[in-house]
Amino acid sequence: MPDVPTATDLARAVQARETTPQALLDAARLRAEAARDLNALISLNDRAGEQAARVQARLDAGETLPLAGVPIVVKDNLNVRGTRTTCGSRILANYVSPYDAAAVERLTAAGAIIVGKANMDEFAMGSSTESSATGPTLNPWDPARVPGGSSGGSAVAVAANLTPVSLGSDTGGSVRQPAAFTGIYGLKPTYGRVSRYGLVAYASSLDQIGPFARTAADLALLMNVIAGHDPRDATSLDAPPAFRAGTPDDLRGLKVGVIREALGGNTPGVEAALKATLDALRAAGASVTEVSVPTVQHAIAAYYLIATPEASSNLARYDGMVYGERVPAPDAVTSMTLTREEGFGREVKRRIMLGTYALSSGYYDAYYSKAMKVRRLIAQDFARAFAGVDVLVTPTSPFPAFRRGEKMQDPLAMYAADVDTVAVNLAGLPALSVPAGFETVDGVRLPVGIQFIAPALQDERLVALAGGLEGIGAVKVEPAPGAEV
């Protein structure tokens, strides 16, 4: 199997005039066409050709661009001017973005070409990319299984090599978990590291944009482009990015803490991948200890009592008046009611009801306000753990990709799929899912991810670590069966 070119390779080749942005775009469109069955993309960007021409003109004028001509896909909750931004929902089926999200602006300024918009769970609520109005995305490792979610389309775009890199969003695990299920890297940066301007809000205090990639070098390349301060996002951090893929030297003396509470209930393949990763780290000179972060056991409960109230507020704007679809009716209230009834899917409605309930007078103290206290305890627990270690480790998910349909009728089982990821968002920390092995289930080889968590603002440490793990052969990235090359 030929080597799959990375974003780093492609930008270099374009800059060296070995290929052109237009040629890379044409090739990416052909691959997207050939992989239609996976349903990774909701739409293609009609203006990508114009973008390619603009990048070509800039190169001809002598500019050097870090992502020169690199084709990229972004999740369909990121606004790209002139494209439909549906968030996987019927209510936004025909909504066309009048502006670019900050992260998209930065990508295009760096020379990237936005090829298309990736499929996702409706409004980023889910762990399987089955709830999209456009239908489910399939996992290229086994089309009967989910790619994870909610950024499943972005993950599959990279795993199936439609594009070398992509962007997703992670509110409770939606970049890391699909990265684990499809065998690639997925990084959730520190809250505020990447501007949320132009990212359609799900739960604003948790949402963060993050990249998918196949190599640490590509993660560094992308983060150096998309991270940084933006005055249009009041929570955006003024932390100048300096990402680099590390080497095995970065592993020597590294203090790694395995979170004890994440050690139970994992499948044998997940346990084996965790053990192999820890053994490799020890062999490279890292120290590995077990640490307790007891409150993570309450993370799922707290998360759903914080995310759903925020969602219920954020989604109040879809009333058929300003954005998206409108069902006409003789009076405004009936029109709003019918619009929301027809426009939102089951899971979104469930969350609006849960969130409204948790915020309502009489229940606020018992639910929302309690969950906020638990959130603070979780953050304190992490801070305590980081007093003794440089990074924390857990599996990204207790199991590899599950079958389509398996959890759709059981919302609590679906919520539990994020047991290892949501605490990180509650604490605002950066975390990276590293493709670390495979587990054979019913005769099919499925990828397994291991999650590394760093203290706030230490995102760079995770990317350096990833490069180190690559250097010692502990990262297991392979082309998915049938991936286009």
How is residue 45 written in tokens? 């960007």
Candidates 80-88, 166-174, 386-394, 431-439; binding stretch for ligand GLN (CB under 6 A): 166-174
Nearest approach in angstroms of CB 367 to ligand GLN is: 16
**Binding of ligand GLN at residue 431 (CB under 6 A)?**
no
Q: How far is the CB of 78 from ligand GLN (least distance, A)?
A: 13
> Strands 71-75 and 113-118, how do they pair?
parallel
Question: Of residues 100, 170, 261, 459, which one binds ligand GLN by CB under 6 A?
Answer: 170
- Residue that is written with structure tokens 């890297």 in the block: 185
Please say which residue, 155 or 469, places its beta carbon nearer to ligand GLN. 155
Distance (Å, whole) CA 169 – CA 171: 7
Could you say whether residue 150 binds ligand GLN (CB under 6 A)?
yes
ω into residue 150 within 30 of 0, thus cis? Answer: yes
Burial 153-188 (b: 16+ CB within 10 A, else e): bbbbbbbbbbbbbbbbbbbbbbbbbbbbbbbbbbbb
Instruction: Select the residue interacting with ligand GLN from 307, 315, 426, 446 (CB under 6 A).
Output: 307
Nearby residues of 110 by Cβ (< 8 Å), 6 or more positions away: 65, 66, 67, 225
With beta carbons less than 8 A apart as the criterion, state whether 449 and 419 touch: no
Residues 404-423 touching ligand GLN, rule: CB under 6 A, are 418
Q: How many residues bind ligand GLN (CB under 6 A)?
A: 13
Q: Residue 435 forms beta bridges with which residues?
A: 449
HSE-CB at 263 with a 13 A cutoff on CA atoms is 14
- CA dist., res. 401 & res. 396, Å (int): 11
Q: How far is the CB of 276 from ligand GLN (least distance, A)?
A: 27
Q: Is 126 a binder of ligand GLN (CB under 6 A)?
A: yes
Residue 78 contacts ligand GLN per CB under 6 A? no
Q: Work out how close the CB of 207 gets to ligand GLN at its nearest, in angstroms, rounded to a whole number.
A: 7
Segment lying near ligand GLN (by CB under 6 A), choices 119-127, 129-137, 294-302, 356-364: 119-127
Active site (catalytic) residues = 75, 150, 174
- Contacting ligand GLN (CB under 6 A), which of 51, 89, 171, 190? 171
**In which region does residue 259 sit, left (phi positive, over 0), alpha (psi from -120 to 50) or beta (all else)?**
beta
Q: How far apart are CA 112 and CA 95, in angstroms?
A: 24
Please say which residue, 166 or 171, places its beta carbon nearer to ligand GLN: 171
Q: Which of residues 172-211 bind ligand GLN (CB under 6 A)?
A: 172-174, 202
H or E stretch including 440?
A: strand 431-441
69: left (phi over 0), alpha (psi -120 to 50) or beta: left
Residue 148 contacts ligand GLN per CB under 6 A: no
Q: Considering beta carbons, is residue 200 or 281 the nearer one to ligand GLN?
A: 200
| Eight-state DSSP code of residue 262 | G
What's the rounded Cα separation, in Å, for the pair 76 and 199? 9
CB 406, min distance to ligand GLN, A: 15
Compare residues 132 and 150 and give the one whose CB is closer to ligand GLN: 150
The window from 38-46, 109-117, 120-128, 452-460 that contacts ligand GLN (CB under 6 A) reads: 120-128
Q: How far is the CB of 413 from ligand GLN (least distance, A)?
A: 12
**H/E stretch holding 167:** strand 165-169
Residue 172: CB minimum distance to ligand GLN, A = 3
Stretches 132-140, 165-173, 193-201, 237-245: which one binds ligand GLN (CB under 6 A)? Answer: 165-173
Q: Is 129 in the site for ligand GLN (CB under 6 A)?
A: no
Residues that bind ligand GLN (CB under 6 A): 124-127, 150, 170-174, 202, 307, 418
